[in-house]
Amino acid sequence: MKITIIGTGYVGLVTGACLAELGNNVFCLDVDQNKVDILNNGGVPIHEPGLEDVVARNRAAGRLTFSTDVAASVAHGDVQFIAVGTPPDEDGSADLQYVLAAARNIGKHMTGFKVIVDKSTVPVGTAGKVQAAIAQELQLRGIAEKDAAFSVVSNPEFLKEGAAVEDFMRPDRIVIGHDNTPEGLKAYAAMKKLYAPFNRNHERTYWMDVRSAEFTKYAANAMLATRISFMNELANLADKVGADIEAVRHGIGSDPRIGHSFLYAGCGYGGSCFPKDVQALERTARDYGQELHILRAVEQVNNNQKHVLGKKVVARFGEDLHGKHFAIWGLAFKPNTDDMREASSRVLLSELIERGATVAVYDPVAMKEARRVVALDFSGQDEALGRIRFSESPMDALQGADALAIVTEWKAFRSPDFDQLKSKLKTPVIFDGRNLFEPQVMADAGIEYHGIGRSILTKG
């Protein structure tokens, strides 16, 4: 099939590359010429395991094209995926300007039947706005909708950064919303054909109306965010009552009604999805005169949780951190990505610098992106920027530090040489924001350990 993908961010690039891998002819459009140049020169502008190989293989096979040519992109695809960003607006709502701009471009250039797929995470009712934008452009061209028919479909993504290729190629579910008009039934047939390779062993596609499909994406992310904040709030209580949140996690996760996924306590969630999707769903509810009290609490707990490591540092070393030096392992919001959006590391770094400390930071993948983001976070604060050192390795970051803070659970951090670690730190203190280590093991190694909800043993 001929497919057009509008937008080559995480969702668009993974979707386009993986659909090409299945034998489709895919045209990827982006307005950013620099990004298109990188892709056409064999690079990939984001870090996503396995993606570079898939892109290279399908570019070489001629199934994957990158361009800024809007007219060519509309002419190419019988199915047009809109996979552009929907960043949060000032009021927390999803900013649909890029989605609607893509829709208008389709309307300006289409000449025959098109299936328009909302792949971006969008609020309930967006499909109607996309349809109206396309219809308006057709009207301005003097073209009746019957002469250039189209149908808008909702097909939300459920990709985890760091495992997006695997998630796309082996989905646990495919959600597609369509209407029951003649055009909608044609869209149904096209989408069924497109996703047929995923349904050979068993049916993975859930068909529903468009609004329900749009709602499903937000509901899924809101539930996962809720589980994280729930465990973080319990972890903070566990620290006070002397319980071990890891033991509690195993105890409740063994209940099949609960399960183990997304029950890990830590220093808060970040990234491009959970924070903005929770806010957008809250805003949608307010637009309809309803308050989502649970989600408001989820967001507040997460915002507070990002300060937990900083509070633990202050409790141990005092309010004034002048003359103190700290190491931070992990900058990306999660492992296997270089994404720094809403990353907990940014909160901790700001708190340490504001209190006068110097900091050495290291991340296996996100160093380039971290330099860019940190420069923005401390724009105009040259003295503060001068107190941040980007290290060459985890052990390099430890040299002369008063303590280590772990913010991202990279596998490379799970089994360090603790003797070497101790020799490089001025004081053997670890603040573990992801509970990578066992308190008893740390105590036996002579390391003072501060986890999240693991206060049973904190000193070696």
* Rounded Cα distance, 437 and 198, in Å: 39
- Closest Cα to residue 346, out of 373, 365, 379, 366? 373
Identify the bridge partners of residue 244 per DSSP, sorted by sequence position. 454
- Report CA 95 to chain centroid distance, whole Å: 17
Beta 114-118 vs 25-29: how paired, if at all?
Answer: unpaired
Residue 152 gets the label, from left (phi > 0), alpha (psi -120 to 50) or beta, of beta
Q: Record the tokens describing residue 195, joined without a space.
A: 């996703």
Q: Record the tokens describing residue 255, joined without a space.
A: 């209940």
289-296: Cβ within 8 A, 24+ apart: 294/226, 295/222, 295/225, 295/226
Q: Record the tokens describing residue 93, joined without a space.
A: 């709502």
Question: Of 18, 28, 267, 273, which one is the catalytic site residue?
Answer: 273
* Rounded Cα distance, 142 and 136, in Å: 10
* Rounded Cα distance, 135 and 106, in Å: 10
Q: Record the tokens describing residue 363, joined without a space.
A: 């991340």
Q: Would you call 273 a catalytic residue per the annotation?
A: yes
Give the N- to C-terminal CA distance of the chain in Å, as an integer. 62
* Rounded Cα distance, 168 and 11, in Å: 10
* Rounded Cα distance, 460 and 458, in Å: 7
Which residues fall within 8 angstroms of residue 154, CB to CB, at 6 or more apart?
117, 118, 122, 126, 127, 175, 176, 177, 178, 210, 211, 213, 214
Residues 355 and 441 sit within 8 Å (Cβ to Cβ): no
* Rounded Cα distance, 327 and 167, in Å: 33
* Rounded Cα distance, 406 and 434, in Å: 7
- Closest Cα to residue 97, out of 133, 72, 62, 58? 133
- Report CA 40 to chain centroid distance, whole Å: 25
So which residues are the catalytic ones?
Answer: 273
